Structure 1
Amino acid sequence: MTAATAAPLDDDALRAAVIADTQRWLERAVIGLNLCPFAKAPAVKGQVHYAVCLSPEPEALLLQLQDELNALADADPEERETTLLMVPRQMADFLAFNDFLDATDAMLEDLGLEGELQVAPFHPHFQFDRTEPDDIGNATNRSPYPTLHLLREESIDRAVEAFPEAEEIFEGNIAKLEKLGAAGWAALDVGPSVPEDQR
């Protein structure tokens, strides 16, 4: 059976593959290239919670996002510092995903978590404003699957104190990726292991 005709994975197998792919991306790209100098500590300490929304419906994603936001807010930071919520069966279109972020901001406000938590976007086709789709700099926010990163404002504040020139991180990342090039990024093998027609 070829990859093109393989049957979709069952939920348990897909969930396991999505988490494994995301962990590989985190280790090889985000931490390996030091794209975020603050990502290594929670990963090493096991403080990253991985969640997967397997529903193809945006309404179900909103409900799971609400649960994950509340769980993160209630959790001891020493146990759960941050959450990655991956969405393999919807939001494949980046513009639709980008539009969905308005709903995440509204949810933070509705839950009274504005100022306590933030949601940062990552997507396989992430594209910054005023860039071309194939600009290598977009890879800084390109994850194997559409992903919502739930993080604590306190963590961001500590990071800013440790590295007050935050814009230098972004500029350095762009330079790093331009030096790496498209071939170098591809060699990291941090894309999805499960094609869309098998999800």
Structure 2
Amino acid sequence: MTDTLDPVQVEAGVRRWLERAVIGLNLCPFAKAVYVKQQVRIVVSDASTERALLEELGEELALLRDTPAEEVDTTLLVHPQVLGDFLDYNDFLGDADALVEALDLDGVLQVASFHPDYQFAGSEPGDTDNLTNRAPFPILHLLREASIDRAVAAYPDPDAIIERNIATARELGFDGWSKLLAE
């Protein structure tokens, strides 16, 4: 990735993705409520190494742990300068999960993953299904397990979300996805 990206432009791109894809296409039916209540923290990292990113991840996990959900329910740690290669990013997720455990936050917080080149296991890079987890920049999404549990319990058929998202991605296709996120 490049180090010339303006953090303000990076955040604007992430907000556009959230508003148009995640919320606009209803890929996550739980996102709109916390977003409109301004409970989504977006942090654009200046980390340029995996080690620096891991340190920042630890700081953000601790901040989320210590902050009431009413103030910050979830955090998007956007890291445009490191882990641009999806395979490296995917490997790093093991380190992220290990950090959650080391901080004794397993069962309290979890890390979800979004990447411009996201690829589900067993899929091809060109499969439209991958669009459901593609974002304009690599993102570590820090989530409260209690918030997930409440949202899923209130949703009539949470298992249908993944199937609906895949159908939406297939219908939209790569051209539609690109147009959706264009400035």
Report TM bin, short chain: over 0.9
Aligned counterparts, 1:85-164, within 5 A: 85-163=77-155
Higher relative contact order (CA 8 A, sep 6+): 1
What is the total number of aligned residue pairs between the two structures? 182
CA distance in 2, matches of 1:73, 1:56: 25
- Report the Cα offset of residue 26 of structure 1: 0.2
TM-score (norm 2): 0.95
- Report the Cα offset of residue 167 of structure 1: 2.5
TM-score (norm 1): 0.87
- Which residue of structure 1 lines up, in the alignment, with residue 47 of structure 2? 55
- Report the AA paired with residue 178 of structure 2: A
Superimposed CA distance per residue, residues 122-158 of structure 1 (whole angstroms, 9 cap, x where no aligned partner): 0000001121111111011001110000010001101
- Which of the pair has more CA radius of gyration? 1
Aligned counterparts, 1:1-199, within 5 A: 9=4, 14-163=6-155, 165-189=157-181
| Root mean square deviation, CA, Å | 1.6
- Report the Cα offset of residue 14 of structure 1: 1.5
The alpha-carbon distance between structure 1 residues 169 and 8, as it changes in their structure 2 partners (threshold 3 A), is closer
Q: Which runs of 5+ in 2 are unaligned?
A: none
CA distance in 1, matches of 2:179, 2:102: 42
Percent of aligned pairs sharing the same letter: 52
CA distance in 2, matches of 1:59, 1:132: 29
Superimposed CA distance per residue, residues 82-127 of structure 1 (whole angstroms, 9 cap, x where no aligned partner): 0000011110111110000111111111111111000000000000
Moved over 3 A (4+): none
- Report the Cα offset of residue 54 of structure 1: 1.1
Superimposed CA distance per residue, residues 33-85 of structure 1 (whole angstroms, 9 cap, x where no aligned partner): 00000000111010000112212111100110000000000001111010000
- Report the AA paired with residue 65 of structure 2: A
CA distance in 1, matches of 2:179, 2:30: 24
- Report the Cα offset of residue 181 of structure 1: 1.9
The alpha-carbon distance between structure 1 residues 31 and 183, as it changes in their structure 2 partners (threshold 3 A), is same
CA distance in 1, matches of 2:115, 2:174: 17
SS at match of 1:188: helix
- Report the Cα offset of residue 180 of structure 1: 1.5
CA distance in 1, matches of 2:95, 2:28: 25
